[in-house]
């Protein structure tokens, strides 16, 4: 599948999807969102892809925001539709994928870029990364899940301050806040992220998908995360991966998981 704004490769179980609009600092427009959806869906359905890494091209930016020129003259209804469609097609879609998604944040992750990173299951940042949600400086608010995911990750007070001030934090402050899991040198970002992906790939894809669903349930209105955990735990007992994992443990050998 060919794309205009992204690059997608799969090597040794890792699908790497790179937003490739360097002249626009990888800003998200509708075409890029559509292409990301297609590439992520394809990777999730590919049995050879065990982990997905999302990153930006170049060293300056992961994604420096949404492409403002696309919606500067939108009406109320058009603005609402933009947010609803974007959340469904990309941001919520990523958060609920069965395949683990890691955001490798290189450089600026602002507005929709930070929202994209927050939709991933976790984040690793380069030491030159800068993050923020500056939407209120444009007379609007984050519309791709930022007002919900940022408080979940860093707490209500810190999220309120970041959003209200339209400020940016650097990678080390993001690490302190719990917004990212690791900070590494820019030149080592993808290599380090690949090492984490390798650790994930040693484990059962079925169990990992079940864990993602159970964890997400605890953050959804009307869902009881403990009930979801019990249900997903029970379902694991019916999988070939459970049989393989337990037999491998009992026989003191490494498991060979099939994702079934």
Question: Which are the catalytic amino acids?
Answer: 115, 135
* CA–CA distance, 32 with 10 (Å, rounded to integer): 19
Among 139, 137, 138, 161, CA closest to 150: 161
Residues forming beta bridges with residue 131, ordered by sequence position = 109, 169
Cα-Cα-Cα-Cα torsion 229, 235, 239, 242, nearest 10 degrees, comes to 40
User: What secondary structure does DSSP assign to 119-149, as a single string?
Assistant: HSSEEEEETT-EEE--GGGGT----SSHHHH
Region class of 196: left (phi > 0), else alpha (psi between -120 and 50), else beta:
alpha
Burial of residue 11 (CB within 10 Å: 0-12, 13-18, 19+) is: exposed
């Amino acid at each position: 599948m060919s794309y205009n704004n992204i690059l997608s490769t799969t090597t040794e179980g890792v699908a790497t999807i790179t937003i490739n609009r360097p002249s626009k600092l990888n800003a998200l427009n509708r075409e890029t969102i559509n292409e990301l959806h297609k590439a992520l869906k394809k990777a999730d359905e590919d049995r050879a892809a065990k982990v997905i890494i999302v990153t930006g091209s170049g060293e300056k930016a992961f994604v420096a925001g949404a492409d403002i020129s696309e919606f500067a003259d939108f009406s109320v209804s058009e603005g609402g539709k933009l947010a609803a469609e974007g959340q469904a097609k990309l941001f919520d879609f990523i958060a609920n994928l069965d395949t683990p998604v890691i955001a490798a944040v290189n450089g600026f992750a602002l507005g929709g870029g930070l929202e994209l990173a927050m939709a991933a299951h976790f984040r690793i940042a380069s030491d030159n990364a800068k993050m923020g949600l500056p939407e209120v400086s444009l007379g609007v608010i984050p519309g791709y899940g930022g007002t919900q995911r940022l408080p979940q990750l860093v707490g209500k007070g810190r999220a309120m301050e970041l959003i209200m001030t339209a400020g940016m934090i650097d990678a080390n402050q993001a690490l302190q806040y719990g917004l990212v899991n690791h900070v590494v040198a820019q030149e080592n970002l993808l290599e380090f992220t690949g090492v984490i992906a390798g650790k994930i790939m040693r484990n059962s894809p079925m169990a990992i998908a079940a864990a993602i669903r159970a964890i997400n349930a605890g953050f959804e209105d009307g869902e009881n995360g403990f009930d979801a955990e019990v249900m997903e735990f029970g379902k694991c007992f019916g999988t070939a991966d459970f049989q393989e994992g337990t037999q491998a443990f009992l026989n003191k050998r490494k498991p060979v998981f099939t994702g079934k």
